[in-house]
Amino acid sequence: MKISGEKSLPAISFFYDGKPSKKFLRMWNKKVVERKTEEGSITTEIFFDPESGLKITIILRRFKDFPAALDWVMELENCGKHKTPIIEDIMALDFTFSVSRDERVILHYAKGSQCMMDDFLPLTTELFPSSKVMLAPEGGRSSNGILPFMNIQGSDCGIIIGIGWSGQWMAELNRDENQLNIKAGMEKTRFFLYPGEKIRTPRILSIEWEGYDFEKGNNLLRHLLFEHYIPRIKGNPVMPPAAYCLQWYFYLTDRANANLEMTALPKAASIGLDTYWIDACWYGGKKAWWEEVGSWTVNKEKFPHGLKPIADAAHKAGMKFVLWFEPERVRKNSIIHREHPEFLLTGNSPDNFLFNLGMHEALNYIKSVVSNHICEIGIDIYRQDFNMDPLSYWRAADTNDRQGITEIRYIEGLYKLWDELRQQHPDTAIDNCASGGRRIDLETISRAIPLWPSDFMDIGGLNTGIGIYTGSQCIKAGLARWVPLFGGGVWNFTPYGFRSAMIGGFTFGFNIEDRYLCCGDERKIKIWKDVLSKGKTLLDSDFPIKLAKKAIKEWKSIRKFFTGDFHLLLPLTISDHDWCAYQFHRNDLEEGIALFFRRHKSPFPEIEAGLKDIKTKGKYMVSLSPGFNEKSGQIMDGKNLVELRVRIADLPGSILLRYSRIK
């Protein structure tokens, strides 16, 4: 597979007054400006039509340490005195590769998040001659159903494509006898621009890689995101925390107050957690949490002195403080609905409104609300949730000759909100939730980290019983193939239960023993309240403190590996009969870890799952630990690690393998 055509990336396309851009764009006035940066360089290509005044600007970023990577974003601006002709079908990427007729081309991608056990499950599609693949999320949130990253593998090379658009993107791959064309952009654009009006399009990232193992491309993506996209505070990457949250206790008992939080907080610090988290229970009045969104005032019945004393207590204990918001959804009769109905977009629900981030006055209002809370309370991690699909609201607001404009302005407003909050509060991080991982893309990754990538790990997942561990393994390992840092949920501190959710950071509220979880028999499935009622929180005197400390200590000891190369050692499935195995490797340290899970219905006590990135002629110190007490190391030949067989007697059971090259 080779790149073809008269020009290299970036390649864009659109229709202007009914004519395809490839027929006229190169005849427009062109200017190219390049400047060096600490990271590499930024090249600005400007195309200008003197007749209509339309200016196309492509801003291209290159990286010194990743020479095969390109990042670009396109802007369109009307510099004329009259509105432009119709601009439509804008593709931020429209590129063609030459492919021989007999060459195999395989598309690697992944499901997105939809509160399912198989969220982020790896997907593979072979692109045969005369084949076509269309990808798009559902409802206007960028990873709702499909993750906006893909790896296109040829016979001896490939290319990673990442899409940075937190709304309704699309990608189309078409293969014929001799070439493969890939397009990506917004799903629907058809509009004119007013004089002086300017818009941006989705960001595109491409990374070319060589070889026969497609995971090489995925690991280049992981490292590039970690080095150049993941947000940083004081020069350090924002790492997902180990946190405690009483939100599930609130769901079970309908009780939330300052006394409960101040009782649990010191216990959370004592077991080694670094963050205290308050979720959707602190605001509004007497209605359910989801009925109060849009009323962002502290509930004084629950928290008579506000939330600052709790944040202060967290800081005094050496912990960070997380607070939940959902500023984009507004319920009927909330404060914002009553006082600022002009800020709202309407859709097909009479009770749910979309706060219009594309309106300048609305954006300034909500930014002030959030910023004041950050200042007054002392919030270290601002958690932004988004529990609705915005697409129908955006499209209902557009006229026929302005299709896509409301979405563009909204997404631009979202980025401006986060960018300005980060500028005003440089020591505050942002958590990107969106119903659990439904808005993960190149742009959100550069501003926030997803601390809760799937709502399957919430109380709904408990209805699957012990299957919640199977789902957690799939979610964590599936997302880790593409994204280096994220969080997740823990429900159990046994080695098997805890390790199933250990990648990245974690949050918990309960410890629930396996005996209270069913084993997948549909007749035994219990509702989540029954399961929660058997669990223990940090408010309970019989919470398994010693076990939790051991689990957290193990997590801290291997945390450094989560930013290394990631490898699936077995096909990732959601079958309770299968094993799950994956590896993190640090090339700079020549050491790493591998986790092996024998699921609760697996009939196989042993499996072959050789490690990767191992020097076959090298010697390694290796330990295999079924429990949290690390076993003594033994010297093994690299050849034996590449041909490794692992045995787990327990059902279910797990093993943590640690290795380090000694010569």
Matching fold, domains 2-228 and 242-557: no
Closest Cα to residue 280, out of 311, 341, 323?
323
What integer pLDDT is reported at residue 519 of this predicted model? 63
Q: Which residue has the higher pLDDT, 474 or 467?
A: 474
Answer yes or no: is pLDDT of 4 > 60: no
> Using an 8 Å Cβ cutoff, are 146 and 136 in contact?
yes
Region for 401 from its dihedrals, namely left if φ exceeds 0, alpha if ψ lies in -120 to 50, beta otherwise: alpha
Query: Does the predicted model carry a pTM greater than 0.95?
Result: yes
Residue among 621, 553, 625 at smallest CA distance from 592 = 621
In this prediction, residue 525 has a pLDDT band, given cuts at 50, 70 and 90, of low
Residue 7: what pLDDT?
A: 53
Q: How confident is residue 526, by pLDDT bands cut at 50, 70 and 90?
A: low
Q: What is the pLDDT of residues 593-604, one digit of tens each?
A: 999 999 999 999
Domain boundaries defined on the chain: 2-228, 242-557, 561-661
Residue 524 has pLDDT above 60, yes or no: no
In 354-482, alpha helices (H): 360-373, 391-396, 405-424, 434-437, 442-445, 467-480
User: Quick one: fold of 561-661?
Assistant: Immunoglobulin-like (2.60.40)
> Does the pLDDT of residue 464 top 90, yes or no?
no
Instruction: Tell me how far apart the 2 most distant CA atoms of the chain are, in Å.
Output: 77
pLDDT of residue 493: 97
- Do the Cβ atoms of 594 and 581 come closer than 8 Å? yes
Domain range 2-228, its CATH number among 3.90.220.20, 2.70.98.60, 3.40.190.10, 3.30.930.10: 2.70.98.60
Query: Per CATH, the architecture of 242-557 is what?
Result: Alpha-Beta Barrel (3.20)
Indicate the DSSP class of residue 303.
-
* Percent with pLDDT over 70 in the chain: 98
CA dist., res. 79 & res. 303, Å (int): 53
Whether the per-residue pLDDT at 302 is higher than 90: the answer is yes
Question: In this model, does residue 282 exceed pLDDT 80?
Answer: yes
Answer for the pair 491, 462: CB distance below 8 angstroms, yes or no. yes
**pLDDT one-digit tens code per residue, 431-459:** 999 999 999 999 999 999 999 999 999 98
The CA-atom distances, in angstroms, between 553 and each of 472, 547, 558, 564, 615 are: 20, 10, 9, 20, 29
At residue 5, the pLDDT reads: 43
Predicted local distance difference test score (pLDDT) of residue 348: 86
pLDDT digits (tens, 9 = 90+) for 376-432: 999 999 999 999 999 999 999 999 999 999 999 999 999 999 999 999 999 999 999
pLDDT digits (tens, 9 = 90+) for 332-364: 999 999 999 999 999 989 999 999 999 999 999
What does the pLDDT look like over 406-416, one tens digit per residue?
999 999 999 99
Q: Cβ atoms within 10 A of the Cβ of 64, count? A: 11
If 0-12 CB within 10 Å is exposed, 13-18 middle and 19+ buried, where does residue 235 land?
A: exposed
Rounded to whole angstroms, how far apart are CA atoms 292 and 326?
A: 10
Of the candidate ranges 2-6, 13-17, 193-197, 422-426, the one whose mean pLDDT is the lowest: 2-6
Instruction: Return the structure tokens found at 539.
Output: 């408010």
Give yes or no for residue 6 having a pLDDT over 50: no
CB 505 within 8 A of CB 240: yes
